[in-house]
Structure 1
Amino acid sequence: MSSSAPKDKSGFFRTTGHYLSNLLIVGLIKAALALPYQIRIPLMGRVVQWGIGPLAGYRRRALNNLALIWPEMPKQQRQQIAGKCLNNVGRSFIENYSAADFPKRMSTNNITGEGVAALDAAVASGKPVILVTGHYGNYEATRAALVARGLNIGGLYRDMKNPYFNAHYVKTMEAFGGPVFPQGRRGTAGFVKHLKSGGQLVLLFDQHVFGAPAFDFLGQPANTALSAAELALRYDAALIPFYGIRQPDGLTFETVLEAPITPSDAMTMTQEITDSLAARVNQDPTQWFWVHRRWRPQS
């Protein structure tokens, strides 16, 4: 008798799940984009805050993170922060898919902060610039405002697990102007070439990286990649923290470039950018993406 190995159906079900979930996401995006801008943004905020966020477990994760960082905070206050966080996530998501409207609105934004002069000086001299931030407010607001000033700002992104979603997600980032590169070996050559040519690159550093050194973030150790600081030192690039801070109306932003990080060593510089983000989170915790698995058991 002959026997054949049982077929592994997990790959099929995973692919089918990715395909179907992407269909739902695309349908939601198209429906939202059909609405006027001032309706679609707050609407998507509410959809994520009251629907997708709780169903996907994001609200629970946000509440767990908040309890870890501020256990003494009243539970009701943590719940309010988690709700507003999810609302910001939803608004940011559809803003980034509003490839015509959002960059146009940001094109007239005044960019403020000590880092503006440093950026202008670097661009004038042909020195590369790494603009570093976290998932706070909507970082694309500042990137769009800078692109409107004529800068060719590249982006470094992490591939999504859903390949169908990832394909159009990357296109939205490209629509804001400037090349985008995937994290890992595949994108390294591209962004290194971009930096060496005196270009500007956006890096987000506030997600957990297994095996990375632990840095203090909001009073707890958080594994954090050294990439931003290492690249800045290796290519003599200015390292400038920046933020797109959502304003009380929910639609406009303050676009800020902070003072450049002083070159020293990768560990010191990474703690400094971590402290920069922590200061922003302490100032307004509702704008940070508490939905990430930022704190994990240390490895």
Structure 2
Amino acid sequence: MEQQENRYTVSAMRDLLKNLESIFEMVRLVDPTEVAVLRLEVNGTISKEPFACYQAWSRNVRCRNCSGMRGLLGERPSVKFECRRDDLFYIVSRPLILKLSQGELQVVLEIANQADSSVIGREENCSMSRQLDEIQEKVYRDPLTHTFNRRYLNEFGFLYHNMDQLCRRLGFIMLDLRQFKLVNDTKGHLAGDQVLMEVARVLQSRVRSQDSIIRMGGDEFLVVLTNCSEEVVSRKTKELGEALLPVAAADFGYSYTEFFRQEKSFLQEMLEIADRRMYMAKRQAKCLQHT
């Protein structure tokens, strides 16, 4: 992401808001000096709209303010919120700096979500930041392996994972375990789960913090390598295969680009290339077994 020390360009902030809006019920950027909601335009400019506060919400919203600044809740432009009197919402606000052509603007990012008794509000004194972490864990993590899940992939979370800049050079490494069904059939599903967890542990130990391990489903995983060359991706593919051998044999295939576009069609194309190469490797392995 194009940010440094909580400083964001308009483009980077638009990307951040887009990702947050897929998780939370209300996300907005506020100018605290004018008590206005900011709209970020595609051309890099901003416009401001006044708040339209609901008195009914003020009685039901419980504000947990991480920044020490008062949370402001109202109507986001183009979105109508219908709230019952017994609804309970939590807000977190954080001060950020927006980098504009004419200088820097201090803003507040506000996030609100309806309270979920299974996640939020279990402990009255629990910090909001921890509650948000719990929500994100449920949204983006596979509960068995604790790797990322398909939603994280589909929402392009890997582009911003522990990164200071938006990533364009990407390598996708697809892998599928060999004869995993046999493990489940002969040793049971608990044994199969242990294999999957150990595979995830090995993969995590062999990549950087800025890279991502995604469980695509079943015994299929995707490794996303960021800001690297194709040579690195090819070498890492072989390294992961050797590292996994004590746990389970796997077949690999990869794809690479230096100009990733945040489009579903481009993402699908890269996945298909990696998947196709993986199944070519699987067929080659079968041929070797029969020779």
- Give the TM-score range, shorter chain: under 0.3
User: Scaled by the length of structure 1, what TM-score is found?
Assistant: 0.23
**By percentage of residues, which structure has more strand?**
2
Which structure has the larger Rg over C-alpha atoms?
2
User: Scaled by the length of structure 2, what TM-score is found?
Assistant: 0.24
